[in-house]
Structure 1
Amino acid sequence: MADPHLSGKGSLKGLLIALAVAAVLFVTVVLPAEYGRDPTHVGRLLGLDKLRAPTTGGGEAKPILLTEVIGGNEKVWTADPGDGREPVPLPNPAVYQAGDAPPKHETKVIKLAVDGKTEVKTQLKKGKMVVYSWQVEGGKVYVDYHGHDPSMGDKFWVRYSEEDGVDHSAGSLVAPFDGEHGWFWLNVSEQPVTIRLTVDGYYDAIKDYGNIP
């Protein structure tokens, strides 16, 4: 007849072993595969951390949409979220600006008579960025924000935006090519107006064409 005390000790020992095995499996398998946590680094060696996909609020992995706007043309890129260890590649690396000199800052005040018109251009190298804002005092204007490369003649130019009857705007631009990028303004009000333009960024110079006949 079996000793009940020995039988009880065997059952307890078996239970403790089972709990220990379960704890090891949880740390080395479940945590890396389900939660992306790998304190022992065993999950990485076994490739279990790759089984976990990043999730959104809905609980499932979804592609990321990256938008690139150059020269007024918009491209939407689909990128795999990846596993979180490597960055998702950018469709337009120019969003990062590395400069040998600090960004410049300049404010210009432009006065336009009735039906007066002018142009102000930022001279930019390809991939360089400017941030701008302008406001009109006393009325409204027509504006054409565009860019061109003087070395290619007058027939080559691109338009970034065009608005009529506005009194302010703000935004940024990454130059799609070397050249002049800026604004043509026409006073469409029945009285003189004043435009205050502020530009920050990595431009070489700002060219003011003055009043255009």
Structure 2
Amino acid sequence: MQHTVSSNTLIKASLAATVLAAVVLVTLILPAEYNIDPTGIGQKIGVTALAQTAEPATPESAKVEGTTEFQSIEVVVPAGRGVEYKFEMQQYEKMTYEWLTDGDALFFDLHGEPEGDTTGYYESYVIATSDEMKGSFTAPFAGSHGWYWKNKSTTPVTIKLLVKGQYKVIGLKS
């Protein structure tokens, strides 16, 4: 027994398959593979995290997504100078961190600058002098967040910074 399919049935099935493919593309494939989420559904169901963890390794100067594993970063603060190391974070994103120096204590300011602000405004969260710090942080607003370290000694100081969470590395700011 042979079945014949009418052209109307074939057209309807083709249209249904095309619509279904478009929905899957926009809601699952683009968010999971490319972190492009025009509907916001990918974020809600958690598939955008797949794109963030699947990105290839990039140079330190490039933006890198945060992870659930600690990322180790080395920052050298020259003698008598200061450096700033920043991360891009969205509002309420979290970061766990730990840093320590290979020697002298440094003056530091853990702070954030709101996204798009051109006035020079920044908000300090911790200002102190120490050779180590450990904690967690939730971004109160979208923008760049991180540390300014000032080395008042006559020799360079190397910081080992360990971070994990939700962020993109901006890196050293000049």
> Which range, TM-score by smaller chain?
0.5 to 0.7
Q: Are the counterparts in 2 of residues 134 and 198 from structure 1 also a CA contact under 8 Å?
A: yes
2:125 corresponding residue in structure 1: 160
Identity of aligned residues (%): 29
2:135 corresponding residue in structure 1: 171
TM-score (normalizing by structure 2): 0.59
Deviations 1:171-201 (A, max 9, x none): 1111111100100001122322110111100
Q: Are the counterparts in 2 of residues 138 and 192 from structure 1 also a CA contact under 8 Å?
A: no
CA 129–193 in structure 1, closer or farther in 2 if over 3 Å, else same: same
Deviations 1:47-94 (A, max 9, x none): xxxxxxxxxxxxxxxxxxxxxxxxxxxxxxxxxxxxxxxxxxxxxxxx
Q: For CA contacts below 8 A with separation 6 or more, give which structure has more relative contact order.
A: 2
In 1, the alpha carbon distance for the partners of 2:80 and 2:73 equals: 20
1:193 matches 2:157: yes
Q: Are the counterparts in 2 of residues 109 and 197 from structure 1 also a CA contact under 8 Å?
A: yes
Give the gaps of 5 or more residues in structure 2: 1-44, 54-65
Q: Which amino acid in structure 2 is aligned with residue 160 of structure 1? A: Y
1:121 corresponding residue in structure 2: 86
1:141 corresponding residue in structure 2: 106
TM-score (normalizing by structure 1): 0.49
Q: Secondary structure at the match of 2:116?
A: helix
In 2, the alpha carbon distance for the partners of 1:156 and 1:172 equals: 23
In 1, the alpha carbon distance for the partners of 2:114 and 2:102 equals: 31
1:49 corresponding residue in structure 2: none
Moved over 3 A (4+): none
Pick the structure with greater CA Rg. Answer: 1
In 1, the alpha carbon distance for the partners of 2:160 and 2:119 equals: 27
Q: Are the counterparts in 1 of residues 115 and 142 from structure 2 also a CA contact under 8 Å?
A: no
Q: Secondary structure at the match of 2:124?
A: strand
Give the gaps of 5 or more residues in structure 1: 1-97
CA 107–154 in structure 1, closer or farther in 2 if over 3 Å, else same: farther
In 2, the alpha carbon distance for the partners of 1:142 and 1:159 equals: 13
Deviation (angstroms), 1:156: 2.3
Aligned residues, how many? 112
Q: Are the counterparts in 2 of residues 127 and 176 from structure 1 also a CA contact under 8 Å?
A: yes
1:131 matches 2:96: yes
1:110 corresponding residue in structure 2: 75
Indicate the RMSD between aligned Cα atoms, in angstroms. 1.9
